[in-house]
Amino acid sequence: MEFFWYVVLIGILATYLVLDGYDFGAGIIHLFFAKTEKDKKAITNAIGPFWDANEVWLIAAGGILFYAFPTLYASSFSGFYLPLMMILWLLIFRAVGLELRGQIHNHMWEVVWDKAFGIASLLLALFFGMALGNVVRGVNLGMVENGISTQEPHFFFLPLWNSTFSPVDSQLGIIDWFTLFLGVVSVVALMIHGANWIIYKTNSELNAQLKQIIFKMNFILLALVIVSLSVWHIIEKEPFHNFINNPILFIFPLITFVGLLGLFKVRTFKKDGTGFLFSSLFLVGGFTSTTASIFPEVLPSTNKVNPSLTIYNVANGEYALSVGVYWFAIALALVIGYFIIQYKVFNGKMDDVGYGEH
Whether the CB-CB separation of 96 and 153 falls below 8 Å is answered with no
Question: Per residue in 252-280, pLDDT tens?
Answer: 999 999 999 999 998 888 888 899 999 99
Whether residue 308 is contained in a domain is answered as yes
C-alpha count within 13 angstroms, C-beta hemisphere, residue 47: 32
Q: Is there a domain that residue 357 lies in?
A: no
Q: Report pLDDT for 321.
A: 85
Q: So what's the pLDDT on residue 356? A: 63
Residue 173 placed within a domain: yes
The alpha-carbon radius of gyration of the chain (Å, integer) is 21
- Residue 351 belongs to some domain of the structure: no
Read off the pLDDT of residues 207-246 as tens digits, 9 standing for 90 and up: 989 999 999 999 999 999 999 988 888 887 777 888 888 9
Q: Minimal CA–CA distance to 274: which of 287, 289, 258, 288?
A: 258
Question: Cα 273 from chain centroid?
Answer: 21
Is 10 contained in some domain?
yes
d(CA 277, CA 281): 6
- pTM over 0.85, yes/no: yes
Please report which residue ranges of 236-273 form alpha helices under DSSP H. 241-245, 251-262
Q: Residue 265 domain-assigned?
A: yes
Domain coverage including residue 12: 2-345
State residue 51's pLDDT score.
84
- Which DSSP category does 123 fall into? H
- Look at residue 132 and tell me if it is in a domain: yes
Q: Which stretches within the chain are classed as H helix?
A: 2-32, 37-47, 51-54, 56-68, 70-79, 81-100, 107-137, 177-201, 207-235, 241-245, 251-262, 274-294, 318-345
> Residue 196 and residue 190: Cα distance in Å, rounded?
10
For residues 114 and 140, give the distance between their C-alpha atoms in angstroms, rounded to a whole number: 39
Question: Looking at the domain assignment, is residue 158 inside a domain?
Answer: yes
Task: Give, in order, the Cα–Cα distances in Å from 56 to each of 34, 83, 129.
Answer: 27, 20, 19
Which among 30, 15, 220 is positioned nearest to 120, based on CA atoms? 30
The tally of domains found in the chain comes to 1
pLDDT at position 48:
82
For residues 346 and 201, give the distance between their C-alpha atoms in angstroms, rounded to a whole number. Answer: 10
Residues in the chain: 358
Per-10-residue mean pLDDT, the chain, length 358? 92 93 93 87 87 88 91 90 90 87 79 90 94 90 83 86 83 90 95 94 89 94 92 82 90 94 90 92 94 90 88 87 86 88 84 67
